């Protein structure tokens, strides 16, 4: 039945929005150290717009891929800047990946495919790499951890524990990196010692994903 996976995703976006609201000030503060101090605000505006658009969907006729497509467009038009195209492309790719799998229920394999598509979408759009001190330092290792867990057939809870652990380690590692992409690249050495705000918000998103997918 089509609605199950879509419902999980909509719940996921609600949880993401909630955690971003809670962490808004911390994210903006992180950004203030190396950027223009609006990351928390930008993410909050983006996910509020996503939830607004998702509220208009008829869930019984919605596939998981549709949810992600709608989210991509809503996020992009609300945000612009650089976060907009990055997450919009990520969600578009994730939608494509789920559509290709004809995914309905969104089990761990589908979740892993989604994370992989998000990571590669952000990578292609931003032309970035691991080690650039960006959200990719969280998304790439998290996607790899998810793929490994899915290949091993881990239970969802164990898989997501591992994904979150990897994600947090990736975010922590951004402290010793020098930004070469995005606005933070312009402050160069002044970015050292600070966690990248995009990496921090990526961990928040992954945490919300775990809560959405592991709630029994």
Stretch that binds other proteins, among 1-9, 11-19, 50-58, 122-130 (CB under 8 A): 122-130
* Residue 190 interacting with other proteins (CB under 8 A): yes
Closer of 6 and 145 to other proteins (Cβ): 145
Closer of 63 and 76 to other proteins (Cβ): 76
Shortest spacing between CB 43 and other proteins, in angstroms: 13
* Residue 48 interacting with other proteins (CB under 8 A): no
- Tell me the helix, strand and coil percentages in the chain, rounded to 5: 80, 0, 20
Closer of 80 and 155 to other proteins (Cβ): 80
Stretch that binds other proteins, among 59-67, 106-114, 188-196, 200-208 (CB under 8 A): 188-196
- Note whether 64 and 5 are within 8 A (CB): yes
* Residue 173 interacting with other proteins (CB under 8 A): yes
* Residue 193 interacting with other proteins (CB under 8 A): yes
User: Which structure tokens are listed for 183?
Assistant: 């606005």
Q: What distance in Å separates the CA atoms of residue 148 and residue 133, rounded to the nearest whole number?
A: 24
Residue 80, Cα to own-chain centre: how many angstroms? 16
List the one residue from 8, 39, 130, 210 that touches other proteins (CB under 8 A). Answer: 130
Shortest spacing between CB 81 and other proteins, in angstroms: 4
Shortest spacing between CB 144 and other proteins, in angstroms: 8
Q: What distance in Å separates the CA atoms of residue 210 and residue 67, rounded to the nearest whole number?
A: 18
How many alpha carbons fall within 13 Å on the CB side of residue 169? 10
Angle, helix 3-34 to helix 39-54, in steps of 10 degrees: 160
Binding mask 74-93 for other proteins (x = CB under 8 A): --xxxxxxx-xxx-xx----
Residue 153: CB atoms within 10 A of its CB come to 9
* Residue 177 interacting with other proteins (CB under 8 A): yes
Among 147, 141, 136, residue whose Cα is nearest residue 111? 147
Among 170, 163, 179, residue whose Cα is nearest residue 199? 170
SS3 at position 149: helix
List the one residue from 55, 58, 153, 189 that touches other proteins (CB under 8 A). Answer: 189
Point out which residues bind other proteins (CB under 8 A): 36-38, 41-42, 76-82, 84-86, 88-89, 125-126, 129-131, 144, 173, 175-178, 180-183, 185-190, 192-193
């Amino acid at each position: 039945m089509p609605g199950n996976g879509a419902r999980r995703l909509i719940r996921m976006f609600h949880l993401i929005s909630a955690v971003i609201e809670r962490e808004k000030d911390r994210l903006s503060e992180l950004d203030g150290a190396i950027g223009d101090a609006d990351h928390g605000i930008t993410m909050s505006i983006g996910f509020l717009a996503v939830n607004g658009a998702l509220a208009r969907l008829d869930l019984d006729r919605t596939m998981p891929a549709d949810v992600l497509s709608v989210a991509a467009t809503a996020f992009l038009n609300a945000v612009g800047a650089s976060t907009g195209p990055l997450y919009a492309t990520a969600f578009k790719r994730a939608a494509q990946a789920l559509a290709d799998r004809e995914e309905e229920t969104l089990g761990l394999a589908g979740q892993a495919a989604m994370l992989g598509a998000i990571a590669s979408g952000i990578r292609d759009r931003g032309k970035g790499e691991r080690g650039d001190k960006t959200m990719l330092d969280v998304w790439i290792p998290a996607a790899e951890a998810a793929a490994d867990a899915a290949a091993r057939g881990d239970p969802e809870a164990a898989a997501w524990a591992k994904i979150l652990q990897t994600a947090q380690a990736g975010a922590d590692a951004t402290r010793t990196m020098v930004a070469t992409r995005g606005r933070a690249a312009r402050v160069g050495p002044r970015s050292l010692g600070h966690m990248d705000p995009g990496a921090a918000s990526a961990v928040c998103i992954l945490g919300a994903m775990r809560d959405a997918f592991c709630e029994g």
